[in-house]
Amino acid sequence: MVIKLERDVAAYGGIVSVAQLLALKHWRQNIDLAVHYGTLVRVRKGWVASPEVPKPILMAWRIGGTLACASAVQYHLGMDIAEPLHVLVPSNATGFRRPHDHRARLAEGDAVIHWAGTPEGGRDLVVPLGEALRQAARCRGPGASRGIPSRAGDTL
Ligand SMILES: [Zn+2]
């Protein structure tokens, strides 16, 4: 049963809503047990993930969206990902959480929020590199310039 649970979480890309798992006929008790034993990680209310999902992606999802902008560029280039994270959220998103604590509301300076143009935006786990570079070039948030590779002699 646990193996099937892990397989189904992986099939959703590593982060899945509890509602989706219940729809696949998993028992809530088994999901809670998997979280208790560390087979799954609780990301935020109603969401669980595989512990193998990279931490910055989990943190962005905990905040309420997708790793974006400078943070996504750093992720794609294999760089250390600086905080505050830049996160793309759906246009109707609410209830943002702190990146390290799903029980606490997002505080000033915890993240740079980028709003998607639609409710469907911000549903991937990481914004693709090309889009992330465009976001970073326009972003005025702290650390945005770290997402723009600079050539020698360029001044930012
Ligand atoms: Zn940004």
Q: What does the pLDDT read at residue 1?
A: 56
Q: What does the pLDDT read at residue 26?
A: 95
Q: How far is the CA of 30 from the centre of ligand 1 (A)?
A: 38
Listed in sequence order, the residues at least 6 apart from 93 whose beta carbon sits closer than 8 Å to its beta carbon are 64, 65, 115, 122
pLDDT tens digits, one per residue of 109-154: 999 999 998 887 766 899 999 999 999 999 988 888 766 655 443 4
Residues with CB under 5 A from ligand 1 (ion): 69, 86, 112, 139, 141, 144
- The whole-angstrom separation of Cα 80 and Cα 70 is 11
- The whole-angstrom separation of Cα 127 and Cα 104 is 25
Q: How far is the CA of 140 from the centre of ligand 1 (A)?
A: 7
Question: Sign of torsion, CA 45 47 50 56?
Answer: negative
pLDDT tens digits, one per residue of 50-103: 999 999 999 999 999 999 999 999 999 999 999 999 999 999 988 999 999 999
Q: How far is the CA of 126 from the centre of ligand 1 (A)?
A: 13
Q: How far is the CA of 121 from the centre of ligand 1 (A)?
A: 15
Q: Are 81 and 108 in contact (CB under 8 A)?
A: no
Q: What does the pLDDT read at residue 47?
A: 94
Q: What does the pLDDT read at residue 139?
A: 94
Q: What does the pLDDT read at residue 148?
A: 61
User: What is the mean predicted confidence (pLDDT) over 1-24?
Assistant: 90
Torsion of CA 57, 58, 59, 64, to 10 degrees: 90
Q: What does the pLDDT read at residue 51?
A: 95
Top-confidence residue, 50 or 3: 50
Q: State the amino acid at position 95 in one-letter form.
A: G
Sketch the domain layout of the chain as residue ranges.
2-49, 55-147
Q: How far is CA 98 from CA 45, 56, 113, 144, in A?
A: 12, 12, 12, 20
User: What is the mean predicted confidence (pLDDT) over 4-24?
Assistant: 93
Q: Are 112 and 87 in contact (CB under 8 A)?
A: yes
How much is the pTM? 0.86
Listed in sequence order, the residues at least 6 apart from 117 whose beta carbon sits closer than 8 Å to its beta carbon are 91
Output the six-digit token pair for 19. 């509602």
Q: How far is the CA of 48 from the centre of ligand 1 (A)?
A: 26
